[in-house]
Every structure is written in C-alpha cells, then in structure tokens.
Amino acid sequence: MKTRREFGILCLAAMAWASCAPALRAADPGTLPDPKDKPPLLALWVDSHGMRVGATMQKELRFAIWEDGRVLCAKDPEKGGSGLRSGTITAEQVATLKNQVNGSGIFELKGNCYLVPDAPVHCLIASVDGKKQMLYWDEVEMPGYGINTNPKPQHLAFMACWKQVKAAGLRRLKKDLHEVAPSQSFSPPKSWYFKKTIQSE
C-alpha cells in the first residue's frame, strides 16, 4: 500500500511539473536584437543611467536602424522609457540616412568619449560603407558641466555632430511602427561596442 501511495504521489508531482514547465518557459522574456545580427547602420541607446538614487540597471534603446531597412525603437525615442516598436523603412530612406551620416563628419571626429563620473552613459554608433564610429556622452548641456567646461572646437564639433546624426535617425522613425510584445527586453550585443570608452581631450 505504501509503495502504491508513494508511486501515486510521484506521478502527481510529475504531472504538475509537466503542466507548469511550458508556462514557465513561455514567461521567460526574450532579448532584442538577435546577437547574431549585424550591427545597425545607426543606433542610440542608454548604456547606464548613472549612480543616482532609484536609477534602473536596464539598458534602454532609443532607436536602431539597419541597412536592410529594419527599425527598432522606443515608443518615445526622444525620451526613452519602457516599450518598443519595430518595422521597416524604404531603401530610399536608408540611402538618405547613409548620406546624412556620412556628411555629418562623425567619422572624422577627434574625440569619441566625453563622460562625467557616476553620470549616465549614452552610446551612439554609426556603421556606413565599412566605416565605424562609437560615441559616448550623457547628452547633458549645462555651463561648467562635463564637455561644456571650457569647451574647445573639438567639443563643439562633437556635440553638433551628435545632435545632427541623432536628428537624422529620429526623422526616419514612422508613427505607424508595430508595438513589440512587453515580454521582449533590449540588450545591445557585443558587436555593437565598436570602441571602449576612451576619455577624450
């Protein structure tokens, strides 16, 4: 009797595990984009929200645009926040974006990193016709702070280029992009990190 009872308990436990396992697997969030994919033509994301109280550890995408026209962006790519949207843009729009990135001077900048200790880290990457660039900044413009402490011509060129390239990317984002499932989270793959942070003069 005891053996039968123990056997029955084991069977019930196995059935309960089998019924729960698919649900547990389905609840696991996916990570976008696919790490095996090529780096985007242009992308902007928040790599760190800094050390302020209550700051999240989650990396946050603003937008990413690939050469084949694929687009992935935040619901509000200007301000960020939760939620992602995806879709495509035309080949003509991609060509226009490539020309704008090439003409911005991003690949000729003297410095690529202007960060402040414990402050947020925003990353901007561009990859066009074999040329690659990665910029680091926190996008804070305040007299006497960070890059705006006694700004030199290369600092002004960096900020102007960042804003020009960012604006070119934002203009490509359509309003009718599809919302991505809430279970999907963003994490940039290693292939997106073209350069380590090198503090610029």
Q: What's the pLDDT score for residue 95? A: 97
pLDDT at 40 over 90: yes
pLDDT at 171 over 80: yes
Average the pLDDT over each of 25-29, 35-39, 101-105 and give the range with the smallest value: 25-29
Q: What's the pLDDT score for residue 176? A: 85
Cα distance between residue 100 and residue 117, in whole Å: 32
Residue 31 banded pLDDT, cuts 50, 70, 90: low
Average pLDDT, the chain: 83
pLDDT at 174 over 80: yes
Q: What's the pLDDT score for residue 15? A: 38
pLDDT at 12 over 60: no
Strands 178-179 and 84-88: antiparallel
- pLDDT tens profile 49-77: 988 766 677 899 999 999 999 999 999 99
Give 194: exposed, middle or buried? Use CB within 10 Å, 0-12, 13-18, 19+: middle
Please tell me which residue, 195 or 180, carries the higher pLDDT value: 180
Residue 88 banded pLDDT, cuts 50, 70, 90: very high
Average the pLDDT over each of 39-43, 100-104, 184-188 and give the range with the smallest value: 184-188
Q: Domain 29-192 belongs to what architecture?
A: 2-Layer Sandwich (3.30)
- pLDDT tens profile 89-105: 999 999 999 999 999 99
**Domain layout of the chain by residue ranges:** 29-192
Rounded mean pLDDT, 154-176:
95
Structure tokens at 80: 């960020």
